[in-house]
């Protein structure tokens, strides 16, 4: 028997890439092409390993699960445990659907000589798959599968609802521009108390190229007052643009957020472009969304300009 490893690799690479794309479309998540290619490459290499003299433990259930999780992390990242499990569940459901469909088509098109008592045989006569499945086996798996299906696709519905409130945001400060996804939050009523300027919140990681590294650490540790007090000793090109905005934290105590006055903010939502100059960009030290769907929270006042 002759095995063409390059053809097997290419076929599995294309199939893995297609199923990863379907998973991304199903979960309504964005992805980077180079990460998806790396994930498909990892999956295709695992299949090729089956034809190499490698230890048999590499094909056990636990190792297969590790490779599957590695593919998901390579393609979409981790984000949070809940987000990772939902991506993994969607990917496995897509795999099951494709595998079941391929077997079903093969079973329907197979001749009577290839099917004997519910078993599909290869040309060499070796059995490939037992069709008859015990009733107890189905009864045990049907409820977990239904729950799994509902969990994965309920998250898809929630993501669709969230997507309808997302907009493209571009910040302009002199020669610097920063672009990201923003969530239109009608519950955001943060203003500068002195000028009544609306404050749009943005992850400070989007400003890592222009802010000093020490500032990033202080913003993440909520020590922004030390940044303002050290302005006399530390040079910063946008010192006249900095503001300190008070707000109430989760514990209801008054805290301060470092904000920057941009030249303008351009928001694109539903094919409509909105430009605002009276706005402050509040810098948040954490992640506004665990799965990275958006990196800014848009003040509702900006949408009515």
Is the distance from CB of 202 to CB of 216 less than 8 angstroms? no
From residue 212, alpha-carbon distances to 185, 236, 286 in Å are 29, 8, 17
Tell me how crowded residue 66 is: count the other CB atoms within 10 A of its CB. 12
- Written as six digits, the tokens of 289 are 């969304």
Classify the C-alpha dihedral 148-154-158-163 as positive or negative. Answer: positive
Bridge partner residues of 184 (DSSP): 298
Three-state SS annotation for the chain: CCCCHHHHHHHHHHHHHHHHHHHHHHHCCCCCHHHHHHHHHHHHHHHHHHHCCCCHHHHCHHHHHHHHHHHHHHHHCCCCHHHHHHHHHHHHHHHHHHHHHHHHHHHHHCCHHHEECCEEECCCCCEEEECCCCHHHHHHHHHHHHHHHHHHHHHHHHHHHHHCCEEEEEEEECCEEEEEEEEECCCCCCECCCCCCEEEEEEHHHHCCCCCHHHHHHHHCCCHHHHHHCCCCCCCCCHHHEEEEEEECCCCCEEEEEEECCCEEEEEECCEEEEECCCEEEEECCCCCCCCCCCEEECHHHHHC
Q: Which of 16, 185, 192, 291 is catalytic?
A: 185
Q: Is 185 in the active site?
A: yes
Active-site residue list: 185
């Amino acid at each position: 028997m002759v095995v063409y490893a390059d053809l097997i690799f290419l076929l599995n690479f294309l199939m893995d890439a297609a199923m990863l794309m379907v998973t991304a479309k199903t979960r309504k998540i964005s992805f980077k092409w180079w990460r998806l290619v790396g994930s498909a490459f990892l999956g295709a290499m695992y299949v090729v390993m089956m034809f190499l003299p490698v230890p048999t433990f590499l094909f056990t259930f636990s190792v297969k699960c590790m490779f599957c999780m590695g593919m998901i992390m390579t393609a979409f990242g981790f984000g949070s445990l809940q987000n990772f499990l939902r991506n993994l569940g969607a990917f496995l459901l897509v795999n099951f659907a494709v595998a079941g469909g391929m077997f079903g088509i093969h079973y329907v098109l197979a001749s009577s000589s290839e099917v004997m008592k519910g078993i599909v045989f290869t040309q060499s006569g070796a059995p490939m798959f037992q069709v008859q499945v015990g009733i107890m086996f189905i009864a045990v798996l049907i409820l977990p599968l239904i729950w799994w299906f509902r969990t994965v696709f309920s998250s898809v519905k929630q993501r669709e609802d969230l997507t309808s409130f997302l907009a493209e945001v571009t910040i302009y400060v002199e020669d610097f521009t920063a672009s990201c996804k923003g969530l239109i939050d009608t519950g955001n009523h943060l203003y500068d108390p002195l000028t009544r300027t609306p404050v749009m919140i943005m992850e400070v990681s989007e400003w890592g190229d222009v802010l000093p590294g020490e500032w990033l650490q202080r913003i993440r540790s909520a020590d922004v007052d030390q940044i303002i007090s050290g302005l006399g000793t530390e040079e910063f090109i946008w010192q006249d643009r900095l503001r300190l905005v008070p707000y109430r934290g989760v514990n209801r105590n008054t805290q301060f957020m470092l904000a920057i006055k941009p030249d303008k903010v351009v928001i694109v939502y539903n094919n409509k472009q909105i430009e605002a100059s009276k706005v402050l960009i509040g810098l948040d030290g954490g992640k506004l969304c665990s799965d990275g769907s958006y990196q800014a929270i848009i003040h509702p006042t900006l949408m009515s300009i």
